[in-house]
Structure 1
């Protein structure tokens, strides 16, 4: 069976603090987040911008988080004010949030993996085996 895997990478800059964290991360600070989204599918799909089944998922759908916060993204916002309360602003939960929102924007059957880096030497990956 054929399988396609695509990966896109982008950055966004945002501030956050980790609630009740005993240390510097408990204070407001910022990061240049680097995000990689991997999408895998056994078939190709159309998209909102292309009616032909020629892509795993539209890159525009995968890179929504890099948009300015005023346009529905995460760039130049305070994550504690943007993310719903069930998502704390750790790298783990930011990755899950980006995954959850992205999953709603891609065709059914597309498997996702999201990688979020806060620094050049620290990152987290999130994927859901049930998807």
Structure 2
């Protein structure tokens, strides 16, 4: 792929791993660190510039860092998020971040642009030492 965007951000949230026999089965929080890498064969316009000069707007990759009241995940009790179904492992969260980010990016594409050349890779750290990677 000719272009790859990379960005990192953090957000703070709490969760419980339902049915987990151990400390993760109790309410606890994390400062999640996320790295998004988006590859594309071509450049496109964005919501903020209508010329073909971007893979995507960096803002579209950082939506999750917004406060929960602004549509993000920051300071949310993740078990209550309707799209997670109560499961909040790093694996489930990374897949959700991937799915939701791609949905948001595709919603900004021009008519006739399927975005088939876009490839997103999501890295999610629950702790400084523990990371999950998800891609399709």
| Same fold, judged at TM 0.5 (above) | yes
Q: How far did 1:83 drift?
A: 4.5
Q: How far did 1:86 drift?
A: 3.8
| Correspondence for 1:114 | 122
Aligned residues: 127
8 A contact 1:12–1:75 mirrored in 2: yes
Q: Could you tell me how far apart the structure 1 residues matched to 2:134 and 2:33 are?
A: 14
Q: How far did 1:58 drift?
A: 0.7
| Correspondence for 1:94 | 93
1:1-131 equivalences in 2 (<5 Å) = 3-86=2-85, 88-107=87-106, 108=115, 109-128=117-136
Q: How far did 1:87 drift?
A: 6.1
Give TM-score scaled by structure 2 length: 0.89
Q: Could you tell me how far apart the structure 2 residues matched to 1:95 and 1:112 are?
A: 11
Q: Could you tell me how far apart the structure 2 residues matched to 1:20 and 1:123 are?
A: 21
Give TM-score scaled by structure 1 length: 0.92
8 A contact 1:87–1:94 mirrored in 2: no
Task: Give the aligned CA root-mean-square deviation in angstroms.
Answer: 1.3
Q: Which runs of 5+ in 2 are unaligned?
A: 107-114
